[in-house]
């Protein structure tokens, strides 16, 4: 997640999502998006994001090398994406980990 911070810096928090089920997610401008699930069950949701359309490496679970990600892949299309976050887990995507 250091790479996430280095990529997004102090970009404005956007697309904030928080609910009573211990889930939060937010973007950092058009540079990154993160989600955290503090619940004991998985969380599947659709997220609004300012990230450009493309395929991103989830940097919480892997790293990018060229066009290969060692973890999960999240696809953003027209300002939105859907993903499942396991219990007590999270995701992080950013423009520095864009595969295509």
Element (H, E) at 7: helix 2-8
**pLDDT tens readout for residues 46-66:** 999 999 999 999 999 999 999
Q: Quick check: 97 and 67 in contact, CB under 8 A?
A: no
User: Which residues span the domain enclosing 55?
Assistant: 2-97
**pLDDT tens readout for residues 5-26:** 777 788 899 999 998 899 999 9
Whole-prediction pTM: 0.92
Number of domains present in the structure of the chain: 1
pLDDT given for residue 9 in this prediction: 84
CATH number at 72 reads 2.60.40.1180
Closest CA to 54 of 16, 85, 4, 95: 95
* Confidence band for 69, pLDDT divided at 50, 70 and 90: very high
pLDDT given for residue 88 in this prediction: 98
């Amino acid at each position: 997640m250091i790479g996430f911070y280095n990529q997004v810096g102090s970009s404005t928090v956007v697309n904030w999502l928080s609910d009573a089920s211990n889930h939060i997610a937010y973007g950092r401008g058009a540079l990154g998006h993160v989600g955290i699930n503090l619940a004991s069950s998985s969380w599947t949701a659709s997220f609004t994001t300012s990230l450009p359309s493309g395929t991103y490496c989830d940097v919480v679970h892997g790293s990018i090398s060229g066009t290969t990600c060692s973890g999960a892949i999240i696809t953003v299309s027209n300002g939105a994406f859907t993903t499942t976050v396991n219990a007590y887990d999270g995701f992080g995507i950013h423009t520095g980990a864009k595969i295509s």
